[in-house]
């Protein structure tokens, strides 16, 4: 719909909307900026006037007036990984009827790319920044500390938050699943990892700590690559792991794609799961429960983290900064057939 010109020419203004709706211009401005602060009936009355006049909100003008754009900058390492797709879905659902918009950047697991994206986003003066992980470079941390807006680090927790943080311990997740394998009776437990970003490194650290506590750690049990993760890569890495340690009796994979690949290779090689080989993954994507046999994994609350992160950001934007700056969501170990000896 093309905006209808008001009497005298030009685009419709807030004053025109106010006259049409029979309310004050301040009320219209409030309804457009923060719709939850006005009644539903009043919102509908103003929305009707906006539609009839074809009024278009000038977000650039609002940004200049408020010194902040109605934007939350979001940086994630992947837009195709189901883990971060769930996080982004939670972020969007958490916006509700807010006037805020998400501007998403893909860092491709690169600290330098994260710096570049942050420099561009901060120049737009966003209302808040949400970004994955706790391993920002010194430059990125400096940019964020000087940004003058709320910052929420997600999907992990640490001891030095830039501002706010919500997530879980990847070290403890790795430790928990490895202890489960030990308690199930497995003794030659391998670790299979791909890409090996900092979160994967911490899962490996948890795995190693659990095996060292049990006196079972052997460096030959660890098989990793910096290549991007995939199901087919899981098959290849498992073959490599067996070649190094033929007595391998279980594997902890640092994500679910790899775990499914291991299961496929076990089926091809007629290795009974869980009798001959136990398999565990991380993140607990839907396929883990429907695989045959179903695969043990660490369930991470990705969607919930997204929703809660945007709620923290919105509260801080409104001047109601949460008392708890670091929120540990925890995780859940989903014990399934693949490790049920």
Rounded-to-integer distance, Cα 130 and Cα 150, Å = 8
CA atoms within 13 A on the CB side of 305: 31
Give the dihedral of Cα atoms 167, 172, 175, 181; nearest 10 deg.
-60
The CATH number of the structural domain formed by 14-57 is: 1.10.260
Per-residue model confidence (pLDDT) at position 268: 97
How far CA 286 is from CA of 36, 291, 334, in Å, comes to 35, 9, 12
Name the region of 270 (left: φ>0; alpha: ψ -120 to 50; beta: rest).
left
In whole angstroms, give the CA distance from residue 61 to residue 250.
Answer: 60
Structure confidence at residue 131 (pLDDT) = 98
Q: Could you tell me the pTM of the whole model?
A: 0.80
Q: Is 72 helix (H, G, I), strand (E, B) or coil?
A: strand
Where in the chain are the domains? 14-57, 68-168+302-330, 170-299
Residue 9's pLDDT is 52
The 10s digit of each residue's pLDDT in 49-85 is 888 887 876 665 555 445 688 999 999 999 989 999 9
CATH number 3.40.50.2300 given to 170-299: yes
In this prediction, residue 58 carries a pLDDT of: 64
Q: Which residues of the chain have pLDDT under 50?
A: 1-8, 64-65
Contact 276, 249 (CB under 8 A): yes
Q: What are phi and psi of 100, to 5 degrees?
A: -70, 150
Please check whether the two domains, 14-57 and 68-168+302-330, share a CATH topology: no
> Residue 313's pLDDT is what?
97
- CATH superfamily for domain 68-168+302-330: Response regulator (3.40.50.2300)
Cα distance between residue 92 and residue 303, in whole Å: 10
* DSSP structure string for 6-56: PTTSS---HHHHHHHHTS-HHHHHHHHH-GGGS-HHHHHHHHHHHHHHT--
pLDDT of residue 209: 98
């Amino acid at each position: 719909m093309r905006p209808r010109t008001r009497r005298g020419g030009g685009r419709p203004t807030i004053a025109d909307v106010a006259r049409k709706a029979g309310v004050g211009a301040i009320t219209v401005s409030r309804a457009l900026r923060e719709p939850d602060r006005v009644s539903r009936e009043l919102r509908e009355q103003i929305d009707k006037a906006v539609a009839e006049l074809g009024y278009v909100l000038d977000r650039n003008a609002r940004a200049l007036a408020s010194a902040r754009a109605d934007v939350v900058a979001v940086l994630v390492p992947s837009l195709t990984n189901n883990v971060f797709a769930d996080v982004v879905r939670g972020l969007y659902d958490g916006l509700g009827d807010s006037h805020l918009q998400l501007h998403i950047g893909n860092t491709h697991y690169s600290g330098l790319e994260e710096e570049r994206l942050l420099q561009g986003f901060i120049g737009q003066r966003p209302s808040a920044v949400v970004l994955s992980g706790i391993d920002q470079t010194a430059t990125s941390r400096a940019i964020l500390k000087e940004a003058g807006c709320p910052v929420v680090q997600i999907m992990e927790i640490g001891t030095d938050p830039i501002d706010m943080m919500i997530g879980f311990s990847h070290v403890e997740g790795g430790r928990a699943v490895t202890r489960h394998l030990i308690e199930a009776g497995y003794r030659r437990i391998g670790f299979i990892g791909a890409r090996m970003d900092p979160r994967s490194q911490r899962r490996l650290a948890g795995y190693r700590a659990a095996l060292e506590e049990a006196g079972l750690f052997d460096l030959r049990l660890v098989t990793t690559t910096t290549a991007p993760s995939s199901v087919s890569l899981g098959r290849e890495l498992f073959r490599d792991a067996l070649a190094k340690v033929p007595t391998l009796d279980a594997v902890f994979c640092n994500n679910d794609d790899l775990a499914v690949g291991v299961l496929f290779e076990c089926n091809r090689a007629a290795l009974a799961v869980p009798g001959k080989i136990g398999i565990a993954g991380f993140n607990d994507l839907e396929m883990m429960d429907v695989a045959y046999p179903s695969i043990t994994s660490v369930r991470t609350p990705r969607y919930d983290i997204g929703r809660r992160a945007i709620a923290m950001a919105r509260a801080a934007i409104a001047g109601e900064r949460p008392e708890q700056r670091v929120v540990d969501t925890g995780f859940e170990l989903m014990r399934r057939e693949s490790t049920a000896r």
